[in-house]
């Protein structure tokens, strides 16, 4: 894995709640897109007020990264690569502006010349080869991925999109493949309870034929626990027919503290849940998430 140094070239408000930042730099010469529409990177932000001083980690042999000794740890967040322009050595990232947070605060004052670090991208959207029909459902954080997935969808694939954004001002124009229906709904996104679970049930009701289908859902993590259970248990979809990805956690600033405050035996039980074969991973995630919900996490 390479950690790239990138410099802000342009900042463009897209809607009142979302800003596009174009990163450029010689450091992006070696950036290689996976070509997968929901590919994401880890962004490494400045640790202090100097917006050009980023403590770039270095990659490790195990495929991770580490902060060089004696250097401050760069705050890290995960974002979708909205657009890649390899010849111009540019990528775009669309940031949701929300109440507070390292990334949200950084983007609110982003300007050309600011420096960040980013790693090589990873894509998660992996539809089966027989794809004839897909359902894409997301809140505002998943909107950049949905927009890019639509741009890459071949015309023969029937596509249903449902987006949950805070209000009508957050709606954006989308490039659509030939057979595509898009519905915008309002709410969630930290401003109210998310309806992602209901939206998935309405778009993929019991009895839906997903023999040649794929369902991709992204957004508020705790709202997606019900979704994963519904797709896997109620609809009995095989793991390769869907992907559910938690993008952000409400109250994430205190989550680790609340987890660490759990009795030792409960933490051991949660950790033991992961000690299972990889093929069980979807069912395991369901069990793990159900336990977290019981514990109010
Ligand atoms: C694979 C992947 C791809 C992603 N792609 C994008 C993307 O393209 N664009 C994008 O904007 N986000 C994206 N996200 C989500 C983003 O990583 C989180 O929203 C992240 O927590 C924002 O960091 P922050 O420093 O602004 O806030 P944090 O410091 O992480 O959190 C501070 C507070 O803000 C709350 N919070 C965090 N995010 C939101 C939000 N979106 N709405 C309301 N409250 C929030 C937290 O609960 C916490 O209370 C993606 C996440 C993943 C896992």
Q: Nearest residue CA, atom 47 of ligand 1?
A: 250
Tens of pLDDT, residues 34-45: 999 999 999 999
Q: What percent of the chain has pLDDT over 90?
A: 78
Question: In this predicted structure, what is the pLDDT of residue 288?
Answer: 82
Q: How does pLDDT run across 215-245, given as a tens digit for each residue? A: 999 999 999 999 999 999 999 999 999 999 9
Q: Report the mean per-residue pLDDT for the chain.
A: 93
Neighbours of 41 (CB within 10 A): 23
Percent of residues, the chain, with pLDDT higher than 70: 98
Measured from the CB, is residue 253 less than 6 Å from ligand 1?
A: yes
pLDDT digits (tens, 9 = 90+) for 91-144: 999 999 998 899 999 999 999 999 999 999 999 999 999 999 999 999 999 999
Taken in order of first residue, the domains within the chain and their CATH numbers are 4-118 (2.40.30.10), 125-249 (3.40.50.80), 251-297 (no CATH)
140-163 residue pLDDT tens: 999 999 999 999 999 999 999 999
Mean pLDDT of 280-287: 78
Nearest-CA residue for ligand 1 atom 44 is 190
CA distance 252 to 259: 11
Q: What three-state secondary structure class fits 122?
A: strand
Cα 201 from Cα 203, distance rounded (Å): 6
- Dump strand ranges (E) for the chain: 4-15, 18-24, 40-44, 58-59, 65-66, 76-80, 83-85, 90-96, 115-118, 133-139, 158-165, 180-186, 213-220, 242-248
Distance from Cα 208 to the centre of ligand 1, integer Å: 32
What is the position in ligand 1's atom list of the atom closest to the CA of 144? 8
pLDDT at residue 277 tops 70: no
Predicted confidence (pLDDT) at residue 10 exceeds the cutoff of 80: yes
* Partners of 12 in beta bridges: 20
181: burial class by Cβ within 10 Å (0-12, 13-18, 19+)? exposed
Answer whether 122 contacts ligand 1 (Cβ < 6 A).
no
Angle at 285 between CA 279 and CA 286, to 5 degrees: 115
Ligand 1 centroid to Cα of residue 236, in Å, is 30
**95 pocket-lining for ligand 1 (C-beta < 6 Å):** yes
Spatial distance between the Cα atoms of 197 and 228, rounded to a whole number of angstroms:
9
């Amino acid at each position: 894995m390479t950690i790239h140094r990138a410099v802000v070239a342009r900042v463009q408000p897209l809607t009142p709640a979302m800003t596009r930042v174009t990163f450029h730099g010689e450091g992006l010469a070696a950036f290689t897109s996976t070509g997968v529409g929901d590919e994401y990177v880890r962004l490494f932000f400045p640790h202090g007020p100097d917006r050009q001083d980023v403590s770039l980690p270095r990659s490790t042999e195990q495929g991770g990264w580490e902060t060089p000794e004696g250097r401050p740890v760069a705050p890290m967040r995960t974002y979708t690569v909205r657009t890649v322009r390899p010849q111009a050595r540019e990528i775009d990232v669309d940031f949701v502006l929300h109440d507070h947070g390292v990334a949200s605060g950084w983007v609110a004052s982003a300007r050309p010349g600011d420096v960040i670090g980013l790693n090589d991208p990873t894509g998660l959207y992996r539809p089966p080869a027989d794809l004839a029909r897909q359902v894409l459902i997301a809140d505002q954080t998943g909107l950049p991925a949905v927009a890019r997935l639509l741009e890459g969808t071949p015309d023969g694939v029937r596509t249903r999109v449902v987006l949950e954004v805070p209000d009508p001002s957050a709606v954006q124009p989308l490039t659509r493949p030939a057979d595509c229906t898009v519905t915008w709904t309002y709410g969630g996104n930290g401003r109210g309870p998310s309806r992602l679970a209901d939206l998935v049930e309405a778009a993929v009701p019991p009895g839906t034929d997903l023999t040649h289908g794929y369902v991709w859902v992204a957004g508020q993590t705790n709202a997606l626990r019900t979704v994963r259970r519904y797709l896997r248990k109620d609809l009995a979809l095989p793991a390769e027919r869907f992907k559910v990805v938690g993008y952000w956690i409400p109250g994430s600033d205190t989550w680790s503290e609340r987890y660490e405050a759990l009795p030792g035996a409960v933490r051991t039980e949660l950790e033991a849940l992961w000690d299972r074969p990889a093929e069980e991973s979807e069912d395991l995630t369901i069990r793990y998430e159900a336990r977290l919900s019981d514990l109010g996490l």
